[in-house]
Amino acid sequence: MKKQDMQAACDLLYRHWREGTRLENLPEDLRPSERAEAYQVQGCIEAYTSQPLYGWKIAATSTAGQKHIGVDGPLAGRLLAERVIADGGDCALGNNLMKVAELEFAFRMGRDLPPRPEPYTEEEVLAAVATLHPAIEIPDSRYEHFEKVGLAQLVADNACAHRFILGPAAPEDWRRLDLAAHRGRAFKNGAPAGEGIGSNVLGGPVIALTWLANELSRHGMTLRAGQVVTTGTCLIPLPIAAGEHIEGDLGSLGRVSVTIV
């Protein structure tokens, strides 16, 4: 794809995101053919934010998440600061097609992990983390049939990014825990609504974070200090509707909530 075609594809997707409308597919001449090209299309979205990039999301880190969007492995997307909602705030459901909330383990980075030839190890990535947080992601897609368009078009569409809620930092002793064995629960209007475990996220949240660091490195991108990485849903995506208060509980790691309006 030519650079102007990449920008045109991103502009089209962003217009649908802004207006809450859908398309069947990207036009053939604006459609990335593989993952690397799709990330270049996705990267053009940074022209639409006036703030530094807030961070990254990992989509499809669980079997349930992969089935939900019709892929067989994870993919990365950008989190824009303008799309972040304060913990305990309101999220307008609007024309959201997916209508789900996802409880996630999120990390804020303490130092940069730039591209390099050799893969980062889990130990190196964990050492670069500043804080751990409970988080809720409310994804969406700009495609009418997101489960059918394939991985490259989903990456171009920012890996179904939409709204994001970051909870408070967990107590500093979180590093002593086995996050893969750590359980999380979701509540709707105070009633239990779902339960999951860290191992649902590519085998563990730190494994997922390491995947993201190496995915960015492979494609020439830096995971930067201060950025937040949300590692994917640890439970089956939770159906949501207007009027519901959604709370995620990661036990000793803290809680996070949002009201759907």
The count of residues in the chain is 261
Across the chain, which distance is largest between two alpha carbons, in Å? Answer: 51
Interval 219-242: pLDDT, tens: 999 999 999 999 999 999 999 999
Q: Tokens 């459609």 — which residue?
A: 31
Closest C-alpha to 77, from 219, 248, 253: 219
CA distance 156 to 133: 27
51-260 CATH: 3.90.850.10
- Residues 86 and 113 sit within 8 Å (Cβ to Cβ): no
Question: What pLDDT score does 68 carry?
Answer: 73
Q: Spell out the residues 6+ positions from residue 33 whose beta carbon is closer than 8 angstroms to its own.
A: 1, 152
Whether the pLDDT of residue 135 is over 90: the answer is yes
Averaged confidence pLDDT in the chain: 96
* Residue range 65-74: mean pLDDT, rounded: 81
Domain boundaries, the chain: 51-260
Percentage above 70 pLDDT, the chain: 100
CA distances from 222 to 53, 55, 218 (A): 11, 11, 10
Measured CA to CA, the distance from residue 107 to residue 226 in angstroms comes to: 10
Predicted confidence (pLDDT) per residue in 142-193, tens digit: 999 998 999 999 999 999 999 999 999 999 999 999 999 999 999 999 999 9
Q: State residue 107's pLDDT score.
A: 98
Residues pairing with 56 in the sheet: 78, 229
Extract long-range pairs of 116-120: CB within 8 Å, 24+ residues apart.
116/217, 119/214, 119/217, 120/210, 120/213, 120/214, 120/217
- Give the model's pLDDT for residue 2: 95
